Structure 1
Amino acid sequence: MARLILFNKPHGVLSQFTDRGSPTKRATLSDYIAIPGVYPAGRLDRDSEGLLLLTDDGRLQARIADPRFKSPKTYWVQVEGIPEEEALERLRRGVMLKDGPTRPAQAERMESPDIWLRNPPVRFRKNVPDCWISVTLREGRNRQVRRMTAAVGHPTLRLVRWRIGDWTLADIAPGEWREISL
């Protein structure tokens, strides 16, 4: 039977079990998960937080991570400024990035989520408001959400992946994980 681990990756942790090539020790998955034979199904940037799925089943790993299967991924994004409807509509239609146009995304403003505080905290600027938006993608390019929000004039301050397919971070604290039955 395949194993599936839901992990709430903290800010500053690499989405891999080892850190090769860095002169300083950076936090990795091995600092949190001591289960042999599981591997991440996809990636999450070091400066992003949230849901990372790990499995010991290669087929399941490919199904979760491969954009051909169009598994929706929902991100809660704290952005600089307050996006107008026009900016959200651009995200919904897809935006042009240096590596080509993105697929259309679901995007909407949301209330500040009731989640953990980030360590280190997001910078606060008294004269620049911020806002939370929910963005759901069915593709996964390198730093895509950050590049998309910047392209519509609202740089990302904090990025939390909340959902992948049917799996969410509900009741999983940063640095904690849960194994679920398939």
Structure 2
Amino acid sequence: MRLQRFLARAGAASRRGSENLMTAGRVRVNGYVVTELGSKVDPLIDVVTVDGIVYTLTQKSVFLMLNKPAGFLTTMKDPRNRPCVASLVPTDQHPGLFPVGRLDKDTTGLLLFTTDGQAAQNMLHPSKHVTKHYIALVEGIVLDEDLEPLRRGILLDDGPCAPAQCELVDKNSRQAMSVVGRKYHAQHLEYKASTVVCLAIHEGRKHQVKRMLEAIDHPVIRLHRQSFGPLSLGNLKQGSWRLLTDQELASLTKMGIQQ
């Protein structure tokens, strides 16, 4: 098996991240540093380590979700010591955890973590069409017909977007609370000329939802991801995490995300 594929399946990192570990000289096979991409290992015989930690395919992968609060970078380490999501999840208990995809620093909501690099790659690959649902508080009053360009597939500077499912949401509804806030009327009077929009996309370009809404002249004030594929936050409090249930893991297996 190719070493980078082994590392991804063993949960060391994503496939690309595993390649970076190799080229950085952090991977050893039977005690020897291996930096050449494409090198092969026998999972039943060879001892593979990353930074001294042994990885095997018999290790059970870990999957957990975090309800990310605003103000945290989606990275496990920041050279400028800014707050990172790594401080919110049990990295000591589950070494090798890393986030699946990214949420912007000011974006809240469901962020999936795993130790399974292959599953993470599958979750993000366009061929799997994993749908992500967002709730956005945007500037201005949006009419339903204003959303038509998004439903047809709007053109951004890096190419056309796939058609998005989108609808208007009542600002006073429970669904809108994640972006409006429960003290909206008392503390956020400046948001009176605003609208809550629900969007569902399966692409994952950088700042995609923000750019889509800005393209129809309604910049995002706040953004929250409420679901990722078959996974939903439910009653998980902001800043808290939980392991996926057996039922949720089975839903990922059914989609071909994890084995």
Fold match by TM threshold 0.5? yes
Mapping of residues 18-167 of structure 1, within 5 Å: 18-20=77-79, 22=80, 25-35=81-91, 36-112=95-171, 113-115=176-178, 117=181, 124-125=189-190, 129-167=193-231
Paired residue type of 1:129: A
SS of the residue 1:26 aligns to? coil
Q: Distance in 1 between matches of 2:216 and 2:190?
A: 20
SS of the residue 1:30 aligns to? helix
Q: Distance in 2 between matches of 1:99 and 1:115?
A: 30
SS of the residue 2:145 aligns to? helix
Q: Distance in 2 between matches of 1:115 and 1:90?
A: 25
Q: Distance in 1 between matches of 2:159 and 2:206?
A: 12
Q: Distance in 1 between matches of 2:207 and 2:117?
A: 24
- The structural deviation recorded for 1:2 is 2.2
**What is the match of residue 256 of structure 2?**
none
Give unmatched runs, 5+ long, in structure 2: 1-59, 250-259
- The structural deviation recorded for 1:114 is 3.1
Higher relative contact order, structure no. (Cα contacts within 8 Å, ≥ 6 residues apart):
1
Paired residues, number = 175
Q: Distance in 1 between matches of 2:170 and 2:144?
A: 16
Considering fraction of residues, name the structure with more strand: 1
- The structural deviation recorded for 1:18 is 0.5
Greater shift after overlay, 41-50 or 81-90? 81-90
SS of the residue 1:51 aligns to? strand
- The structural deviation recorded for 1:124 is 4.6
Q: Distance in 2 between matches of 1:141 and 1:30?
A: 22
User: How high is the sequence identity, in percent, across the aligned residues?
Assistant: 37
Q: Distance in 2 between matches of 1:30 and 1:49?
A: 15
CA deviation profile, 1:59-95 (whole Å, cap 9, x unmatched): 2111112222110000000011121222211111111
Greater shift after overlay, 48-57 or 78-87? 78-87
Aligned-pair Cα RMSD in Å: 1.8
**What is the match of residue 4 of structure 2?**
none
Report the CA distance shift for 1:94/1:162 in structure 2 as closer, same or farther (over 3 A): same
8 Å CA contact retained: 2:178, 2:224:
no
Q: Distance in 2 between matches of 1:147 and 1:115?
A: 20
Q: Distance in 2 between matches of 1:115 and 1:44?
A: 15
SS of the residue 2:122 aligns to? helix
Report the CA distance shift for 1:162/1:40 in structure 2 as closer, same or farther (over 3 A): same
Give unmatched runs, 5+ long, in structure 1: none
Paired residue type of 2:65: L
Q: Distance in 1 between matches of 2:189 and 2:210?
A: 18
Q: Larger radius of gyration, structure 1 or 2?
A: 2
- The structural deviation recorded for 1:123 is 6.2
